[in-house]
Amino acid sequence: MEGKRVLCIEDHPEMIELIRLILGRQGFEVEGAIGGR
């Protein structure tokens, strides 16, 4: 089964890294983007 991909848009880079760490352990591939404007 192919892994799931998640796009995380957040103002704080530290939060993107935390989400990447947590979801990565569950098998997700996380792409991060700073801000959404």
Q: What is the pLDDT of residues 1-37, one digit of tens each?
A: 477 999 999 999 999 999 999 999 999 999 999 986 6
User: What is the pTM assigned to this prediction?
Assistant: 0.78
Q: What is the rounded CA–CA span in Å between residue 34 and residue 15?
A: 10
Per-residue model confidence (pLDDT) at position 17: 98
Q: What is the rounded CA–CA span in Å between residue 2 and residue 37?
A: 31
Per-residue model confidence (pLDDT) at position 10: 95
Chain centroid offset of residue 14 CA:
11
